[in-house]
Structure 1
Amino acid sequence: MSEKAVSDHVGESKSHAPTDSNSVNLKDPQPSSTFDPAAEARLRRKIDFYILPTVALMYLFCFIDRANIGNARLAGLEADLNMSGYDYNTLLSVFYISYIVFELPSNIACKWIGPGWFIPGLTLGFGICSIGTAFVHTFDAACGVRFLLGVFEAGMMPGISYFLSRWYRRRELAFRISMYLVMSPLAGAFGGLLASAILNLDSFGSLNEWRMIFAIEGIITVGIALLALATLTDRPETARWLSAEEKALAIARLVSESEHTGQTVVLDKLDRTKLLRGILNPVVQATSWVMLFATVTVQGLAFFSPTIVRTIYPEKSVTQQQLQTVPPYIVGAFFTMLIPYLSGRFDRRLIFFIGTPLFMMTGYIIFLATDNARARYGATFLIASGSFPLGVLCNAHGAASVVSDTARATAIGLVVMFGNIGGLIATWSFLPFDGPNYPIGNGLNLATGACCFVISVGLWWWSRWDNARRDGEEEQGNAARMLDGLGQRQVEDLEWRHPYFRWRM
């Protein structure tokens, strides 16, 4: 691609809104831009270095600050707050109410304010909430703090995925998303280790036992938020660490992926039509349901793995039980990186959508079929390996199934919102009367794994069918006729309805 062409793309992108530029042929079904692979590789490495470590750290402590309540439960939380019956499940549910309600609004606000400010601001907010949890003395106060925690954490997963979509091509995105979402299983492992280390302290100021977990981890989170406020940047144009040529390349290669569907800029203005296109996209809708069912298992493991381990190894000490939760998460983290890497390597996602639920289903079949402690503990490795990668794939597939930046904000927001509905269901999946073997909880999770599998097969078949239908329309000339007489704004608003758009599989 010539320097002038790259410069033209940069000029168009700086407006953040569609223009009347003729630099892109709206009816040309083939992307016109080619780039030097070596230059792209250098740019990717630079973006990886400056962005991924910071967002990964933020999400690590986002998940720790959410899931450390499971560790606090083992350390005396329920007794100190006079909790009984279903109070623990209620405490988890309060978090998910705000988490679900604020999901989509938070991601729209992320686009409006800019992720470079918004995401660190959220991190600062939930870090303060974690510190506040250390000072609650009643169940009602704990519920209030958990509700606020949900408000601030609601925008983290969709916000970071949306933020990364401003920097990476679609085929690059799944692996980069995995590099921060891998913090979810690592949080299960690291959170258990950190909680064990904290509980070995005699006190932290005036705090002791479970209160120390929330205070120390919250303070670390606040420090990470302040670091992110100083280092993150909204988009390539504002990155001080990119040269002018690198900024031009970063913008132009993203624009090139959507040229044939009429998009001429990387960042468009908020547009109601595009917002709705992201929500009503049929592939995004199906992907959201996969995310919902997968998250039932992911969050169930996060909240109840210490409890499950306690039922398998009741003779071990609390510290030993905490440590037993670590190995399954390490294996889950490995697969969280491996499967998205293979997805990006082969530029395929739906085949992995179909394969990973089989691991989840096998794990829960073992849970239901035997009381053997070693077999059930081994099953947790299969469950973690199958469920954690699905969250990465769902985020990436939602982002790849729309065209504009605006639609991407709501598409990712919807996928994650459905996932958090699954998290709410997970809080009621392992109930006290169902212990110690939890046949109802394990049966529910077997059913959610089966639903992931069935929906994924249907989504793969429908995507192939609709792409073939669109190819037929193009061959018959109907696609070009559909665009005749439309202005640029109208063409852009077609989004995934554009006749030259094809579903990525």
Structure 2
Amino acid sequence: MPLGTAQDLGHLPQLGLKMSRVDRQKENTDVSYVENSVRGAVHEASEHGRAATDSHGRPLVSFDAAAEARLRRKIDLYIVPSVAVIYLFCFIDRANIGNARLAGFEQDLNLKGYDYNQVLSIFYISYILFEIPANIACKYIGPGWFLPALTLGFGIITVCFAYVETIESACGVRFLLGFFEAGMLPGIAYYMSRWYRRNELTFRLSLYIVMASLAGAFGGLLASAILTLDKFGNLRRWRMIFAIEGIITIILALVAFFTLTDRPETARWLTQEEKELAISRIKSERVGATEVLDKLSIQKAIRGVWNPVTLANSMVFLLGNVTVQGLAFFLPTIVRTIYPKNSIVSNQLHTVPPYIVGGFFILLVNFLSWKMARRNLFLMISAFPIIAGYTIFLATTNSKARYAATFLIASGAFNSGALCNAQVSANVISDSARSAAIGTTVMFGNIGGLIASWSFLPFDGPNYHTGNGLNLATSSLMVIITVTLAFWAKGSNTRRSKRDVDAELSGLSPLAIENLDWKHPAFRWRL
């Protein structure tokens, strides 16, 4: 049975009873006893080799809500800012080619026809190929070292892009950029799953994924500011964008080597009791788990990949990323078609407001998801403004209506990043399965990015019926998949509730029980 907390006895004086000194001494003794009991139970639950749940997945220890809130705020302060800032420049360094396009990138490299799309798509070849291996490496090496190293790598590559002279060199550098950026989105999502409960994770993921939206706004402002310079060293025009933004990224990477703490056990800014609480509260949500950070297991990793919720959310993230990456690469181009007489700087600035609106909705939607402990519902809801936006693009050529449509699209498009990865994380048990599941989800998402790089083609301008129609179709399919997943999970949970847990686990070793992961009979899908 779960232990009570000291708060259970802490309200006795409020009952209005008149207590003697002996009574008060006894009360204080009882409170102290309960506090020590809880502290001891938390300590035991945090130890290696001990499970924090019974065979039916019920927690063996309860936690003081106030202590958890204090710990959560501390983790928020030390973890979220570092990963948010490096992901901001991860997305800027990937998407700044869209800003460079307006500043003469195509003309200087003499790109014709589909050359620009080719340069975009080569990034996703390496990005997709190295997605799962990168997240496995992140677990093996440790995110505290791995993520800053990746940041340093793509910062250097971004600076190199300032010196490309041909389409071949541009493709080569973009391929290397994809190699270094492949591990960032899944790596940060996996890293944060080491620190937060399932329901807490959704909103915390949004605090760094919102940077994808803000990168569009900040990237446009930064590019506009850079383009007001005459030169940077011997570099001019679009080349200055890559050089300056790459240097900023390198500086942030060097700082991140000192600010990213690998896991609770190594956090110097946590007390020993806080470390134990951080470990035991995560473990208490993982049925049959005796370790929060298990040794890398291929069997568990395969469980993570072939998890039905992983596969469904991977497809949703693929469809959502067609829109997200399409906005990143082509919003400046779309704005130029809406306002063809505006200056380059004016068009750059027009890309900023939709991203700010998108960032607001990322935080709002994922905050509500956290408080309501629902993810799939908000994934479905987020598809509707995207559907409305692309319907407007297809229905009218009115410039004001089309510009308004970009706000609708941005308000729903960026929500899938946090929701999909949080939902996948919530529906596996082991750390090995989680790293593989998140890597799979993001890999499929980047297949969507590859599709996006060919969604707005030169022959289709200026109204881009093919690209707009494709995005309308993908957002509509997101609704169908999320609704289907909800009905399937409900039916599966009903069938699981009828299983005899003790009989199915009888005779199995603790290791065999751990290896079941989501196939554990007491496991339930959480959407």
TM tier, smaller: over 0.9
- Give, in whole Å, the separation in 1 of the partners of 2:427 and 2:327: 29
Q: Deviations over 1:438-460 (max 9, x none)?
A: 00000000000011110000011
Alignment of 1:189-338 (within 5 A): 189-258=217-286, 261-338=287-364
In the alignment, which residue of structure 2 is the partner of 1:127? 155
Superposed, 1:336-375 pairs within 5 Å as: 336-375=362-401
- Deviations along 1:397-438, one digit per CA (max 9) or x if unpaired, are 011110011100000000100000000000000000000000
Between the two proteins, the alignment pairs up a number of residues equal to 491
Report the equivalent of 2:139. Answer: 111
Alpha-carbon distance in 2 for matches of 1:78, 1:28: 61
Q: Secondary structure at the match of 2:295?
A: coil
What does 1:61-100 correspond to in 2, within 5 Å?
Answer: 61-100=89-128
Alignment match, 2:25 = none
2:45 is matched with 9
Q: Could you say which structure has the larger radius of gyration?
A: 2
Determine the structure 1 residue equivalent to 2:61.
33
Aligned mates of 2:89, 2:260 — CA distance in 1: 17
- Structure 1 residue 351: deviation in Å? 1.0
Letter in 2 for 1:333: G
Indicate if the aligned counterparts of 1:128 and 1:218 stay in contact, CA closer than 8 A: yes
Deviation at 1:279, TM superposition (A): 0.1
Letter in 1 for 2:419: L
The partner residue of 2:478 within 449, 452, 469 is 452
Structure 1 distance, partners of 2:52, 2:243, is 54
Contact 1:255/1:264 (CA < 8 Å) preserved in 2? yes
Confirm or deny that 1:52 pairs with 2:80: yes
Compute the TM-score of the two structures, normalised by the length of structure 1: 0.96
Is 1:462 the counterpart of 2:488? The answer is yes
Q: 2:423 aligns with which of 397, 400, 407?
A: 397
Name the residue aligned to 2:522. 500
CA distance, structure 1, for counterparts of residue 299 and residue 377 of structure 2: 31
State the AA in 2 paired with 1:366.
I
* 2: CA distance, partners of 1:49 / 1:311: 42
What amino acid is aligned across from residue 360 of structure 1 in structure 2?
A: I
Q: Residue type matched to 2:39 in 1? A: E
Shift of 1:479: 2.4
CA distance, structure 1, for counterparts of residue 259 and residue 348 of structure 2: 34
Structure 2: state its 5+ residue gaps. 4-37
Q: Secondary structure at the match of 1:233?
A: coil
1:303 is matched by which residue type in structure 2? F
| CA shift for structure 1 position 231 | 1.4
SS of the residue corresponding to residue 472 of structure 1 reads coil
5 Å-filtered alignment, 1:153-192, equals: 153-192=181-220
8 Å contact kept, 1:430–1:441: yes
Three-state SS of the structure 2 residue aligned to 1:428 is coil
Deviations 1:136-184 (A, max 9, x none): 1111111110000000000000000000000000000000000000000
| CA positional deviation for 1:110 | 0.1
Contact (CA 8 Å) 1:9, 1:265: kept in 2 or not? no
Letter aligned with residue 421 of structure 2: N
On the 8 A contact 2:53/2:285 being kept in 1, the answer is no
Question: How high is the TM-score relative to the length of structure 2?
Answer: 0.92
Q: What percentage of residue pairs aligned between the two structures are identical?
A: 62
1:428 correspondence with 2:464: no
CA distance in 2: counterparts of 1:329 and 1:55, whole angstroms:
20
* 1:69-117: CA deviation from partner (whole Å, max 9, x where unpaired): 0000000111111111100000000000000000000000000000000
Q: Distance in 2 between matches of 1:29 and 1:176?
A: 25
Q: Does 1:481 align with 2:507?
A: no
- Which residue in 2 is equivalent to 1:16? none
Equivalent residues of 2:56, 2:501 under 8 A apart: no
Unpaired runs of 5+ in structure 1?
A: 13-18
8 A Cα contact 1:274 1:407, kept in partner: yes
In the alignment, the residues of structure 1 paired with residue 295 and residue 516 of structure 2 have an alpha-carbon distance, to the nearest angstrom, of 15
Question: Contact 1:68 / 1:191 at 8 angstroms: preserved in 2?
Answer: yes
CA distance in 1, matches of 2:370, 2:271: 27
Amino acid at match of 1:346: M
What secondary structure sits across from 1:205 in the alignment? coil
